[in-house]
Structure 1
Amino acid sequence: MPTVLITGCSSGFGLETAKLFLGKGWRVIATMRKPQPDILPTSDNLTVLPLDVTDAASIASALEQAGEIDVLVNNAGFGAAVPIELIEPETARQLFETNMLGTLAMLQAVLPGFRKRRNGTVINVTSSATLKPLPLVSVYRASKAAVNALTESLAVEMEPFGVRVHMVLPGRAPETRFGESAMPHLRGLDDPDYKPMIEGMIANFREASGPVTLAGDVAQAIWHAATDPNAPLWIPAGEDAVQWMAEAR
């Protein structure tokens, strides 16, 4: 029975991905900063573990309890929508520490085992926001673009060792908590220049009509990456992400 470890399973993409892999008969290690076992189906194949990707001790403890894994899904992350001139330095640091350095820390913890076994799959969840310039998400976008670059180079490094590497790029997902988690970092609504831009961004993100990304789209893209040896390096997830990818490449 293959085993997948997924970070950031408390909601959204990670939660839906854990449910999908469980339904397919995989052993699932669902990790989250504050474990909530009751949000996932009861299963002998499920292990829910605490994991903070910014904490080396937390990573080491989770991986020791998880045992050997076949697929690593780096999904944990958060967003912030703030004009560049107004973003708090601490928020910028947190974005990179979680989204990019957290991904790097997980890779450094898991790759030695994959390389030794000459087998394994890495799937990094980034963002279609990296495909074109967008206002207000510049630092979030930069942190995810860094993961894109990291993933591209990692694929080259791991190819001689039989380790597959992919990135999944979701689009706008109104049903997830991305907007909710981004709101505490929002700055600029009291600025007459930025207020219209910010209000427009909030309205656009909450608008569920038109091309959007569902959590199920991302879960299916991750499943494709995990199970298809011919899956591409870049995998857009969601109708809007597919359109953006076609325009960008």
Structure 2
Amino acid sequence: MPTVLITGCSSGFGLETAKMFLEKGWNVVATMRRPSSDILPVSDHLTILPLNVTDPDSIRDAFAQAGDIDVLVNNAGFGAAAPVELIEPETARELFETNTLGTLATMQEILPKFRERRSGTIINVTSTVTLKPLPLVGVYRASKAAVNALTESLAVEMKPFGVRVHIVLPGRSPATSFGNNAMPHLRGMDNTDYKPMIEGMIAGFRKESGPLTYAADVAAAIWRATIDPGAPLKIAAGEDAVQWMAEAEQP
């Protein structure tokens, strides 16, 4: 029975993806910074482990306890909304340490095993904000765009060794904690130039009409990347994400 390790399973996309793999009969290693045993169904096929992707010791310990895995899903991350001019340097560093370097670290932990056995799949969850410039998410967007670039190069490097690598790009979702996590880092409401822009962004984010991405959309895209050897490198997840990707690919 194959095994998947998923980071960031405490809520949203990661939680839904863990549930889906359990329903498909897989062994699931669900990781999160602060493990909770009551958010996932009780199953002999489920292992819940602590994992902080910014802590090398935590990564080594989690992968050692997980044993052999067939698929790594890098979902852990957080968002922050602020003008590039005003974002706190500490927040910028944290975004890259978690979203970019954390993803790199987990990949480096598993890649030697995948390469040695000539099989394995890595799926990195980024965002459709990487497809076009948007205000107030510049540093977050940069941290996710960096993951796209890493993944694109890694796909080329791993192809001779039979290791598949994919990017899943969700759109705007009401099902994640992005907004709650991003708001504490918000800067600029006291700036007369930026305030209207920020108020518009907040209103747009809270709007739940129109095309959206739901956690089930992301789980389905991850499943496609897992089981379909012909899946594309980049997979849009969600109705709005599909639209954005189509627009981005137009000449």
Q: Is the TM value for this pair above 0.5?
A: yes
CA distance in 2, matches of 1:36, 1:201: 33
Which residues in structure 2 correspond to 1:17-96 (within 5 Å)? 17-96=17-96
For 1:118, the aligned partner's letter is R
Pairing 1:143–2:143 present: yes
- TM superposition shift of 1:175: 2.2
Secondary structure at the counterpart of residue 223 of structure 1: helix
CA distance in 1, matches of 2:89, 2:121: 34
For 1:25, the aligned partner's letter is G
> Size of the alignment, in residue pairs?
249
For 1:140, the aligned partner's letter is Y
For 2:39, the aligned partner's letter is I
Secondary structure at the counterpart of residue 38 of structure 2: helix
For 2:178, the aligned partner's letter is F
Aligned to 1:211: 211
- TM superposition shift of 1:206: 1.1
- TM superposition shift of 1:66: 0.2
- TM superposition shift of 1:27: 0.2
For 1:209, the aligned partner's letter is S
CA deviations 1:56-113 (Å, max 9, x no partner) are: 0000000010000000000000010000110000000000000000000001000001
Q: TM-score, normalised by structure 1?
A: 0.99
Pairing 1:237–2:237 present: yes
- TM superposition shift of 1:146: 0.3
Aligned to 1:121: 121
- TM superposition shift of 1:174: 1.8
For 2:206, the aligned partner's letter is R
CA distance in 2, matches of 1:36, 1:90: 28
CA distance in 2, matches of 1:127, 1:202: 18
After TM superposition, the structure 1 stretch with the greater mean CA deviation from structure 2, 141-150 or 185-194, is: 185-194
CA distance in 2, matches of 1:173, 1:147: 20
Aligned residues with identical type, % of pairs: 77
Aligned to 1:156: 156
For 2:105, the aligned partner's letter is A
Aligned to 1:220: 220
For 2:41, the aligned partner's letter is P
Unaligned runs of 5+ residues in structure 1 are none
Aligned to 2:166: 166
Unaligned runs of 5+ residues in structure 2 are none
- TM superposition shift of 1:191: 1.2
Secondary structure at the counterpart of residue 129 of structure 2: helix
CA deviations 1:198-217 (Å, max 9, x no partner) are: 11111111111101100110
For 1:94, the aligned partner's letter is E
Aligned to 1:247: 247
- TM superposition shift of 1:16: 0.3
Structure 1 runs (4+) greater than 3 angstroms displaced: none
Secondary structure at the counterpart of residue 236 of structure 2: strand
CA distance in 1, matches of 2:147, 2:41: 31
CA distance in 2, matches of 1:108, 1:189: 40
- TM superposition shift of 1:37: 1.3
Aligned to 1:191: 191
CA distance in 2, matches of 1:150, 1:123: 12
Secondary structure at the counterpart of residue 229 of structure 2: coil
Aligned to 1:201: 201
- TM superposition shift of 1:193: 1.2
CA distance in 2, matches of 1:189, 1:37: 39
Secondary structure at the counterpart of residue 31 of structure 2: strand
